[in-house]
Chains A and B, each alone.
Chain A
C-alpha cells in the first residue's frame, strides 16, 4: 500500500556523505522530514528515500551541517509527468482528443435494438429515426419518456420499452406482446364438413349428430357431423359440432417449368464506388451516380470503423461494386428439372399434413414446358369447421 502511495506522490533516493550521518537523520526526523528504507553504504555514507516535499528540507539541513547530499534517483508519478512538460504537441494532442471525446459524446454513434423477436430491427429503427433517434442525432434533445410513450402507442406489438443513452450509444430495449392462443368458441353452433373428397376411414364424433359412417365416400364440403341435433319431443338444439375424420384422399397435381431459362454470365467488367458515412451523413467519393452498365449486379459492402473495447465509431466505409453481366438463354437439364419439380410436389404434400400411402411421379414434356405429374394417395384429417348462420 505504502509503495503505491509513494509511486503516486513521488519519492527521491538520496545518498548522504558525512562524518556522522546519524546526526543528519536525527535532524531530519526531528524536523518532520519523512524518510524511510535507510541502508548503510559505509561508515560515512547512507542511502535513504524522502518525499518530494522532504527533499528541499533535506538539502537545507545538509548545507547547514556541511554534509554532501546526492540525488540517486527520482521515482513516481510527478517525475513521470514532469517529463512531458515541454512536449507541447503531446499535450495539445491530449487536449484535442479530450475535446473530441467530449463533443462526440453529445451525438449518437450507434443504436442497438434489444429484445425484439417478431418486429424487425429495421421497423423499430425507422420509427426511432422519425423521432430523432438516428446516427448523428444530438443526445441532449432526447426526451426518453416521450419517445418511449410514442413508440408504445405507434407499435402495437410492443408491450414495454426503454431507451438507454450511454454517451453516444443508444440501446432500445423492448418486450413484445404475447398473442393469446385462439380459443375454440364452444358456444358458436357449427357443422363439421369434409375439407377434401375421399373415402372415410375412421370418424370419431365428439359432439353433434354424425351424418356419415366409416367406409362412406364423401365429397368436399359435405356435412360430416351436423351441429343441429334433433331431440325427441323437444325440437332441435344447435351445438358446436366437433369430430376427427380420417379419410383416404387422392391428389393429382402437376408442377411445370419452362424448357429454357436466362443464365447470367459475368463479363469481368467491374466498377467500384466508394463513400463514407459520418454520423449518418453520406459523403460520396464519386460524381456520376447513374448505373455504369445496362445489366449489372450491385454489391454493397459497409464496414464500420471499430475502436478498441468493441465500440463502433460513427464512421462507415461504403464500397459499391457494379459487376456487368450478359444473359443467354440456356436449356434446362431434364434430370435437374425433374428433381426440382419433385421437391416442390413433396413440399405440397407435406403442407396437407396427411400420411402418404402411395405416391407416383411421372415426367412430362408438353407444350414447351417440362412437368412432373404426381399421383398420391393420402390418409389425412379432412374435418373442417363450418359455422352455422
Chain B
C-alpha cells in the first residue's frame, strides 16, 4: 500500500504518524478493552464482530460480548472479549 505524503514526512521527521498524519491508533488493554483513536466511523456493529473505518484501512475486530462503551468523532471505546483484529487495505 502506498504511503501518503504526511506518512512519509512523519517517517522522515521521526514524528508519530497518528499525530502528524492523523492515522488511526489502536490501544488494547488486556483482552477486554479496545481504544481506537482517529477512526472514521463504524461500518458494522455486532456482538462478536465490529468493523471500524480507519480512513485508508478497515479494522475488523473479532471477539465476543462486544459493547460500544463510548464514541466521539475521534475516539471509540469497545469492551468485550477480544479474539483478534484483521486489517483490510
Residues of A within 8 A of B (CB): 21-22, 25-26, 28-30, 32, 34-40, 46, 48
Once bound together, how far apart are the Cα atoms of A215 and B46, in whole Å?
117
- Which one, A22, A30, A34, A37, contacts B43 given CB within 8 A? A22
Given contact pairs A37-B69, A38-B45, a sample of 20 additional A-B residue pairs in the complex whose CB atoms are under 8 Å apart: A21-B45, A22-B42, A22-B43, A25-B42, A25-B71, A26-B41, A26-B42, A28-B71, A29-B71, A30-B41, A30-B73, A32-B72, A32-B73, A36-B69, A38-B67, A38-B68, A38-B71, A39-B67, A40-B45, A40-B47
Chain B residues near A32 (CB-CB < 8 A): 72-73
Chain B residues near A36 (CB-CB < 8 A): 68-71
Confirm or deny: B3 has a beta carbon within 8 angstroms of a beta carbon on chain A.
Answer: no
Confirm or deny: B2 has a beta carbon within 8 angstroms of a beta carbon on chain A.
Answer: no
Q: How far is the CB of A360 from chain B (nearest CB, A)?
A: 97
Once bound together, how far apart are the Cα atoms of A29 and B36, in whole Å?
14
B45–A25 touching, CB < 8 Å: yes
User: Can you pick out 12 interface pairs between chain A and chain B where the beta carbons lie within 8 Å of each other?
Assistant: A22-B41, A22-B42, A25-B45, A25-B68, A26-B42, A29-B72, A32-B73, A35-B70, A35-B71, A38-B68, A38-B69, A46-B45
Chain A residues near B71 (CB-CB < 8 A): 25, 28-29, 35-36, 38
Chain B residues near A28 (CB-CB < 8 A): 71
Residues of B within 8 A of A (CB): 41-47, 67-73
Chain A residues near B70 (CB-CB < 8 A): 35-36
Once bound together, how far apart are the Cα atoms of A25 and B71, in whole Å?
8
Once bound together, how far apart are the Cα atoms of A10 and B10, in whole Å?
43
Chain B residues near A25 (CB-CB < 8 A): 42, 45, 68, 71
Chain A residues near B67 (CB-CB < 8 A): 37-39
Once bound together, how far apart are the Cα atoms of A34 and B70, in whole Å?
8
